């Protein structure tokens, strides 16, 4: 149960003065959650992105056009819009001893303005001054106050992200209403830590950010913002630690054996395992033998051999007489894993099958029957694996690929298909250390750092789009030598309209290249049906076509060792990690490979830095760190649509250094008070509710 103390913060915004259902709907849209009412807590954690500084109080002759100023003027005369010309502006002439200022209003009510700015009275006017027809003017001033109300005019006013239809004054008024509802909360931070960092209380931090005394108060590094960021990181670490403690308490079923099945798989490999593959397999085998459940993240660069490690993990539980499942986010990726696994499994005597949403009829029924009676040892598939009709005889290991594409509930649904199922999570997107701490603290981590032996470095070059004809000629030479080439067109945004536009761009490029290289070009994009995509990929894999024009659907898992050239059009539109993923589609064979990054000039600073890093290194872990620095955590992980919450307040690039202390504090608290029943423990429960990590509280109760 949420502490009743927090109820005012979780009430709908319609409980605030001046916020009706219509306005609440706009706030709901702004906060990106249409499924439930917008609440006071959402509003309080909606922090400003900047401020308007109204402290400049010049005389009119000293006003710099284009700046925000606060001026003291006398109202000289009103010049209403002429009759029958409603669109003409309403003008008010004002002055001080040094000059004049015209105030301009559109669609204004005469009685309202006469009341606001009475003729002959002194008024303090604040807003952006501009020059028009050689005269100083201010259109729709932000603030107009009398001398007696001057002390109510905030000199530093925060600016907030808004949505269409929602005005800044409505936002400020609602926030003031929410601040008035803020109860006296118990302190959940450690007293010595608070003192050392000179952090204000939770309430003071919020008030300081929504009513700053200085523009510096709104910097993420400020004590107020840092305090709230630490709160959020502490809530996250506490929730992860409770999840982990819960997993540890859950009894597991150890799976171990002599390792003869693993030895058979290793003997079937055409190469030796890399040192980090050996280490990862040893860690997993140790985990699987223990009597509590494994939750391990295996992160490795493109082509570092995660699928083979997953197969060796599966061999361990299969040798113990049990089953394994590997779930991938797309059909292409599932079939790719199956293509890698099947020949090795056959040599080792492991029975594998594939199950995707495309499988129908008799074949599907047969697969389901064999799975249920234990005639299939390892099944590879998409989210079709956790549908109700899929039953296992004894599922021991669930392997989830590219886990951030799946919500938490989907992962758990697969784990529920057996008793005490161990979980191995794979990702080909190396994750920066700070984000591993922030998002995967409930998991053990293994990293694959090396590429398989014999892989040559990829020659990466940046080329302006103005030289595209030369690129087409170079592609022609590669095709004549029998090489295979990817040509990737960008997805601008993941929206219906943009997707159609990008699709048109890919189709246009396909037509243009088909004229140059008839019968050698194919097209693949996200709107094609699974079967069509697979057929296009198969034609390319077999060499029936040599040039594949694609949107980003080829980003993960596509493995064609004969492909040696990757052309990425409008490379400046892609994130670093995505460019690195795409580049990893080539260089998978023994030949030399090239990646050409085509960009439109002139490049912005961030895009320039991004392309320079790609030219310099192929180390996915270094690239991930740089990507985080340039873009922020939500974009790097793709957390927007997944089961992993992004941060409201904390900025990992600024506040990442607070993660370690938050983790240490969590360990100390839970070692002394695992049920959070002490006074500080109770306060920390409130913190978990405030940052919506309260699911973890249920885990304390469930033992």
d(CA 413, CA 420): 13
Query: What is the model's pLDDT at position 494?
Result: 41
Peptide linkage before 96 cis (omega within 30 of 0): no
Q: Which residue has the higher pLDDT, 87 or 144?
A: 144
Q: Is residue 480 domain-shared with residue 602, that is, in the same domain?
A: yes
Query: What is the model's pLDDT at position 499?
Result: 44
Residues pairing with 548 in the sheet: 486, 522
Q: Is the pLDDT of residue 615 over 70?
A: yes
Query: What is the model's pLDDT at position 403?
Result: 57
Given pLDDT bands bounded at 50, 70 and 90, which one contains residue 496?
very low
Q: Is residue 413 domain-shared with residue 532, that is, in the same domain?
A: no
Residue 504: how many other CB atoms lie within 10 Å? 11
From residue 622, alpha-carbon distances to 208, 458, 580, 627, 638 in Å are 37, 16, 11, 9, 18
Q: Is residue 488 domain-shared with residue 378, that is, in the same domain?
A: no
Closest CA to 9 of 228, 182, 176: 182
Q: Is residue 139 domain-shared with residue 166, that is, in the same domain?
A: no
Residues pairing with 459 in the sheet: 594
Closest CA to 687 of 671, 675, 676: 676
Q: Which domain holds residue 143?
A: 55-153
Q: Which residue has the higher pLDDT, 678 or 168?
A: 678
Domain count, the chain: 4
> What integer best gives the mean pLDDT of the chain?
87
d(CA 307, CA 329): 14
8 A C-beta contact, residue 599 and residue 608:
no
Domain closes at, from 385, 417, 448: 448
For tokens 């000629």, the residue is 473
d(CA 571, CA 567): 9
Residues 6+ apart with CB under 8 A from 642: 404, 405, 406, 407
Residues 6+ apart with CB under 8 A from 2: 10, 689, 694
d(CA 474, CA 468): 10
Residues 145-180 as b or e (16 or more Cβ within 10 Å = b):
beeeeeeeeebbbbebeeeeebeeebbbbbbebbbe
Q: Tell me whether residue 42 is in a domain.
A: yes
Q: Tell me whether residue 605 is in a domain.
A: yes
Query: What is the model's pLDDT at position 492?
Result: 42
Query: What is the model's pLDDT at position 256?
Result: 78
Q: Is the pLDDT of residue 291 over 70?
A: yes
d(CA 298, CA 294): 12
Q: Is 310 helix (H, G, I), strand (E, B) or coil?
A: helix
Q: Tell me whether residue 686 is in a domain.
A: no
Closest CA to 69 of 120, 143, 161, 121: 143
Q: Is residue 324 domain-shared with residue 441, that is, in the same domain?
A: yes
Q: Is residue 365 domain-shared with residue 286, that is, in the same domain?
A: yes
Q: Is 591 helix (H, G, I), strand (E, B) or coil?
A: coil
Q: Is residue 142 domain-shared with residue 39, that is, in the same domain?
A: no
Q: Enter the tokens of residue 298.
A: 């295996």
- Neighbour-count burial of 85, counting CB atoms closer than 10 A to its CB (0-12 exposed, 13-18 middle, 19+ buried): exposed
For tokens 């499988």, the residue is 359
d(CA 151, CA 583): 60
H or E element, residue 103 = strand 99-105
Query: What is the model's pLDDT at position 554?
Result: 64
Least confident segment among 94-103, 199-208, 331-340: 331-340
Residue 692, phi-psi category: left (phi > 0), alpha (psi -120 to 50), beta (remainder)? left
H or E element, residue 228 = helix 223-249
pLDDT tens per residue across span 623-636 = 887 877 776 554 44
For tokens 């590094």, the residue is 221
Query: What is the model's pLDDT at position 330?
Result: 80
Domain closes at, from 197, 216, 235: 216
From residue 603, alpha-carbon distances to 464, 649, 658 in Å are 10, 30, 34
Sign of dihedral through CA atoms 7, 12, 13, 18?
Answer: negative
8 A C-beta contact, residue 486 and residue 563:
yes
Q: Enter the tokens of residue 646.
A: 């992004």
Residue 596, phi-psi category: left (phi > 0), alpha (psi -120 to 50), beta (remainder)? beta
- Which CATH number covers residue 88? 2.40.50.140
Q: Is the pLDDT of residue 353 over 90?
A: yes
Q: Tell me whether residue 12 is in a domain.
A: yes
CA 121 to the chain's CA centroid: 54
pLDDT tens per residue across span 229-281 = 999 999 989 988 887 777 667 666 778 778 999 999 999 998 899 999 999 99
Q: Tell me whether residue 598 is in a domain.
A: yes
H or E element, residue 446 = strand 444-448
What's the mean pLDDT in 465-481? 95
What's the mean pLDDT in 78-89? 88
Q: Is residue 60 domain-shared with residue 45, that is, in the same domain?
A: no
For tokens 């302006």, the residue is 464
Q: Is residue 316 domain-shared with residue 370, that is, in the same domain?
A: yes
For tokens 């028009």, the residue is 132
Q: Tell me whether residue 670 is in a domain.
A: no
8 A C-beta contact, residue 29 and residue 42:
no
pLDDT tens per residue across span 479-495 = 999 999 999 987 544 44
H or E element, residue 95 = strand 90-96
Domain closes at, from 153, 176, 198: 153
Q: What is the C-alpha radius of gyration for the chain, rounded to an integer number of angstroms?
A: 31
DSSP state of 82: P
CA 412 to the chain's CA centroid: 21
Q: Tell me whether residue 658 is in a domain.
A: no
Q: Is residue 208 domain-shared with residue 117, that is, in the same domain?
A: no
What's the mean pLDDT in 629-653? 59
Instruction: Identify which of 243-252, 494-503, 688-697 has the greatest average pLDDT.
Output: 688-697
Q: Is the pLDDT of residue 171 over 80?
A: yes
Q: Tell me whether residue 226 is in a domain.
A: no
Q: Is 287 helix (H, G, I), strand (E, B) or coil?
A: helix
Q: Is 259 helix (H, G, I), strand (E, B) or coil?
A: coil
d(CA 631, CA 652): 10
Q: Enter the tokens of residue 16.
A: 């605030």
Q: Is the pLDDT of residue 309 over 50?
A: yes
d(CA 30, CA 556): 32
Q: Is the pLDDT of residue 566 over 70?
A: yes
Q: Is residue 132 domain-shared with residue 173, that is, in the same domain?
A: no
Percent above pLDDT 70 for the chain: 91
Max Cα distance, the chain (Å): 98
Spatial strand order of the sheet with 521-524 comes to 458-464, 593-599, 563-568, 484-488, 547-550, 521-524
Percent helix, percent strand, percent coil in the chain, to nearest 5? 45, 20, 35
Q: Is residue 516 domain-shared with residue 598, that is, in the same domain?
A: yes
8 A C-beta contact, residue 550 and residue 505:
no
- Neighbour-count burial of 518, counting CB atoms closer than 10 A to its CB (0-12 exposed, 13-18 middle, 19+ buried): exposed
Closest CA to 76 of 100, 60, 106: 100
Least confident segment among 50-54, 118-122, 235-239, 488-492: 488-492
d(CA 524, CA 506): 9
For tokens 């997953």, the residue is 310
- Which CATH number covers residue 364? 3.40.50.300
d(CA 265, CA 278): 13
Alpha helical stretches, state H, 70-190: 110-116, 168-180
């Amino acid at each position: 149960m949420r502490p009743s103390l927090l109820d005012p913060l979780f009430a709908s915004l319609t409980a605030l003065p001046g916020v009706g259902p219509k306005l609440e709907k706009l706030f709901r849209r702004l906060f990106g959650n249409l499924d439930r009412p917008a609440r006071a807590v959402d509003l309080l954690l909606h922090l400003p992105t900047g401020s308007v500084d109204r402290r400049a109080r010049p005389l009119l002759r000293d006003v710099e056009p284009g700046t925000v100023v606060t001026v003291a003027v006398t109202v000289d005369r009103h010049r209403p819009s002429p009759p029958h010309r409603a669109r003409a502006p309403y003008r008010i002439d004002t002055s001080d001893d040094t000059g004049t200022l015209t105030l301009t209003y559109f669609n204004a009510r005469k009685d309202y303005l006469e009341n606001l700015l009475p003729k002959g009275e002194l008024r303090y006017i604040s807003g952006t001054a501009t020059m028009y027809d050689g005269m100083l003017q201010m259109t729709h001033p932000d603030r107009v106050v009398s001398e007696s109300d001057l002390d109510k005019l905030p000199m530093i006013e925060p600016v907030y992200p808004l949505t269409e239809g929602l005005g800044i004054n409505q936002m400020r008024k609602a926030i003031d209403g929410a601040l008035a509802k803020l109860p006296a909360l118990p302190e959940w931070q450690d007293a010595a830590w608070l003192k050392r960092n000179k952090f204000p209380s939770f309430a003071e931090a919020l008030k300081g950010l929504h009513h700053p005394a200085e523009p510096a108060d709104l910097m993420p590094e400020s004590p107020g913002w840092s305090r709230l960021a630490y709160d959020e990181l502490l809530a996250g670490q506490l929730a992860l630690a409770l999840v982990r403690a819960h997993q540890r308490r859950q009894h597991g079923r150890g799976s171990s054996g002599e390792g003869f099945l693993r030895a058979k798989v290793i003997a079937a490999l055409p190469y030796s395992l890399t040192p980090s593959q050996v280490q990862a397999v040893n860690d997993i085998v140790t985990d699987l033998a223990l009597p509590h459940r494994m939750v391990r993240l295996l992160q490795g660069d493109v082509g570092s051999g995660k699928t083979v490690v997953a197969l060796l993990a599966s061999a361990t539980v299969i040798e113990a007489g049990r089953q394994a499942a590997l779930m991938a986010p797309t059909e292409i990726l599932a079939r790719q894993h199956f293509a890698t696994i099947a020949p090795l499994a056959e040599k080792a005597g492991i029975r594998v099958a594939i199950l995707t949403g495309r499988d129908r009829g008799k074949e599907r029924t047969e697969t389901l029957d064999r799975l249920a009676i234990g005639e299939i040892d390892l099944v590879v598939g998409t989210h079709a694996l956790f549908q109700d009709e899929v039953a296992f005889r004894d599922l021991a290991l669930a392997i989830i690929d590219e886990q951030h594409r799946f919500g938490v509930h989907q992962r758990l649904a697969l784990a529920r298909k057996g008793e005490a199922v161990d979980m191995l999570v794979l990702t080909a997107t190396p994750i920066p250390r700070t984000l591993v701490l922030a998002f995967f603290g409930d998991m053990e981590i293994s990293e694959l750092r090396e590429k398989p032996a014999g892989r040559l470095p990829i020659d990466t070059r940046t080329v302006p789009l103005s030289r595209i004809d030369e690129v087409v000629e170079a592609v022609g030479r590669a095709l004549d030598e029998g090489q295979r080439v990817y040509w990737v067109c960008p997805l601008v945004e993941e929206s219906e309209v943009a997707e159609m536009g990008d699709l048109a761009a890919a189709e246009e490029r396909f037509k243009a290249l088909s004229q140059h290289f008839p019968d050698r070009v194919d097209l693949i994009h996200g709107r094609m049906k699974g079967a069509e995509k697979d057929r296009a990929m198969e034609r390319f894999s077999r060499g029936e076509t040599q040039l594949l024009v694609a949107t980003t659907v080829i980003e993960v898992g596509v493995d064609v060792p004969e492909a040696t050239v990757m052309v990425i059009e409008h490379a400046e539109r892609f994130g670093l990690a995505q460019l690195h993923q795409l580049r990893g589609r080539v260089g998978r064979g023994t030949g030399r490979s090239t990646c050409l990054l085509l960009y439109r000039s002139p490049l912005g600073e961030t895009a320039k830095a991004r392309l320079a890093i790609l030219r310099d290194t192929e180390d996915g872990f270094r690239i991930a760190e740089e990507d985080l620095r340039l873009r922020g955590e939500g974009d790097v992980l793709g957390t927007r649509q997944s089961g992993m919450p992004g941060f409201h307040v904390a900025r990992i690039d600024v506040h990442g250094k607070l993660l370690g202390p938050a983790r240490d504090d969590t360990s100390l608290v839970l070692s002394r008070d695992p049920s959070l029943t002490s006074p500080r423990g109770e306060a920390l429960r409130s913190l978990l509710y405030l940052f919506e990590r309260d699911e973890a509280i249920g885990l304390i109760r469930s033992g």
